[in-house]
Structure 1
Amino acid sequence: MGHRLRNGRRVSRPISDPAAFIRAETRLRPVPLVPEISLHVADEAVPIWHRTEEELGEMGLPPPFWAFAWAGGQALARHVLDHPETVRGRRVLDFASGSGLVGIAAMKAGAREVTCADIDPFAVVAIGLNGEANGVALSPTQDDLIGRDAGWDTVLAGDIAYERDLSERVFAWLMALAARGATVLIGDPGRTYLPKQRLEKRAEYSVPVTRELEDMEIKRTSVWRPLP
């Protein structure tokens, strides 16, 4: 990101190389609960969050969720690797992919193909970088897939219950996919808008997390599946 002055005000120039920005702001490190996988992650939450607000925020981009291994994604990735039958030989969607962690786990567990969907263009670039670092080929997309059905066999979603209205839309869609026969798995560390009454718990993990983000160092996190 560069800057220039216009009438005494600082004006941001578009980032010409998002991959270079991601590499500069992160470090490739193993994921705590899933050490088989390494991701480009930020060393500290506050500096990159502030840098994003100051620079990427002027471009209308969301916070850098792609720069962290969130608890729901870690639990879901661990579950997929420990239960490869959930994805083996299947067409998989990793929804709200962020870093691509869950999609990478699915490919390592034997998925036929994995689409990693995230509406943040920087997440799409991070997904490609992380897939390459782990020796797997992913199909990143910036399309908003809520409400669509491309015939995926398995749909994986981590940490998606932050906002009420969005959660209602997402879970209505996920329930419809499950009703037509897709395997749907959701990783969640107890977010406010998770509709537990419509889900069954499949597993639970103690996930190491960043205190800056979660106000604790270990987060009890569950993997859920829609009730039949």
Structure 2
Amino acid sequence: MVRQPADPEADDLVLSVTTARPVPLTPDIVLRTADDVIPLWERTGTPEPPFWAFPWAGGQALARYVLDHPELVAGRRVLDLASGSGLVAVAAARAGGRVTANDVDPVATAAIALNARANDVTVTITPGDLLDTEPDTDVLLAGDVFYDRDMAARVEPFLLAAHRRGALVLVGDPQRSFMPKGWTRVDAFEVPVPRHLEGVTVKTTTVWRP
């Protein structure tokens, strides 16, 4: 596993607020998971929720799909964009991909490293914003990235650019309002989710490609 730069404070935060638990839709993967989003969000004081602390529905569906179809990633360069906890990256590595996980949140990079280690897989972690760069990968995976208008407006062009360059692009989306129109349905899952995150206990979540 590779992670740069190291951040002991971020590691300590993740370890202090999460426990290792099986992911509902991919129980062979263990993820460091928090109990409740609101107190943790207040503690971190960030504008975005702590995406790194929960197995969100889009990531669960995409991870399940990759594990069910390992031939899509095996031996290929895989980028997990906006990786959060690293769930999709771990699944892709488990399926034989050469995986890079990316996130702008330094706490997320710590969580990705800890979760990769817990699942005994190798994931290269690239921090920072990649959305203004040229995507260069064989497979681009993105779980639950269309959660608001601004993010959707930035992410879709990056995903479509990767598609035009020949990458396999797959998105997991649990019926978010800003999922673009015109994408092709690949599969769908009934994903168990915490009620405190989604207001329900199951979310119908679709895997899409351009």
Q: How does 1:50-65 map to 2 (within 5 A)?
A: 50-53=42-45, 57=46, 62-65=48-51
Q: Deviations over 1:33-62 (max 9, x none)?
A: 010100111022222122223xxx4xxx74
Q: Which residue among 168, 177, 182 is the counterpart of 1:183?
A: 168
Contact 1:62 1:120 in 2 (8 A): no
1:123 aligns with 2:108: yes
Unaligned ranges ≥5, structure 1: 1-14
Matched with 2:154 is 169
User: Between Structure 1 and Structure 2, whose CA radius of gyration is higher?
Assistant: 1
| Matches of 1:147 and 1:179, distance apart in 2 | 16
Contact 2:85 2:111 in 1 (8 A): yes
TM-score relative to the length of structure 2: 0.93
Q: How does 1:144-155 map to 2 (within 5 A)?
A: 144-149=129-134, 151-155=136-140
Matched with 1:105 is 91
| Matches of 1:213 and 1:34, distance apart in 2 | 18
In structure 2, relative to structure 1, the CA distance for the partners of 1:189 and 1:178 (3 Å cut) is same
1:131 CA displacement: 0.3
Unaligned ranges ≥5, structure 2: 1-6
- CA RMSD in angstroms comes to 1.4
Q: Which residue among 118, 127, 134 is the counterpart of 1:133?
A: 118
| Matches of 2:87 and 2:209, distance apart in 1 | 19
1:194 aligns with 2:182: no
Q: Percent identity?
A: 51
TM-score relative to the length of structure 1: 0.86
Q: Which residue among 73, 91, 97 is the counterpart of 2:59?
A: 73
Counterpart amino acid of 2:123?
L
Counterpart amino acid of 1:196?
K
Counterpart amino acid of 1:20?
D
Q: How many residues are aligned here?
A: 204
